[in-house]
């Protein structure tokens, strides 16, 4: 193999690996600072604003907010509304949360929260 071919193969491999690592999930720990219910289904119908920016972990995510997809696009509506209930509980009691977000599923650019835990 020529040096050019080896170098090209290396660059292509690196680019493919880098692009697959950009998409995925991340864990966010912080507080819920605000919740949102959108009756027309925008933003997935319900969201929570976090004290820690999801963009810091996953750049494809929108700033500060995560969606629970209460419209039922990414999960069933019962689970989504239970998630927003957890976010509201954390907001009302000033408890920390751990949220797992997925940047491959987004509403209006905001990442989908696949899990929310209210911490003691």
Pairing state of beta strands 96-107 and 25-37? antiparallel
Question: Which segments of 5-86 are extended strands (E)?
Answer: 25-37, 46-50, 65-67
CA angle, 22 then 84 then 117, to 5°: 65
Task: For CA atoms 61, 62, 65, 68, give the dihedral sign.
Answer: negative
CA atoms of 21 and 16, how far apart (whole Å) = 9
CA atoms of 40 and 37, how far apart (whole Å) = 9
- pLDDT bracket for residue 3 (50, 70, 90): low
Residue 16 has pLDDT above 50, yes or no: no
User: Mind listing the pLDDT tens digit for each residue in 97-109?
Assistant: 999 999 999 999 9
Mean pLDDT of 13-19: 43
Residue 115 host element (H or E): strand 110-118
């Amino acid at each position: 193999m020529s040096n050019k071919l080896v170098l090209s193969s290396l660059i292509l491999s690196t680019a493919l690996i880098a692009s697959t690592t950009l998409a995925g999930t991340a864990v966010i720990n912080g507080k819920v600072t605000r919740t949102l219910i959108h009756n027309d289904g925008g933003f997935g119908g319900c969201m929570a604003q976090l004290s820690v920016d999801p963009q810091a972990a996953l750049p494809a995510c929108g700033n500060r907010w995560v969606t629970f997809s209460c419209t039922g696009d990414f999960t069933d509506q019962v689970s989504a509304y239970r998630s927003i209930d957890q976010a509201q509980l954390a907001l009302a009691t000033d408890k920390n949360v751990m949220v797992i977000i997925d940047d491959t599923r987004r509403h209006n650019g905001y990442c989908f929260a696949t899990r929310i835990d209210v911490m003691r």
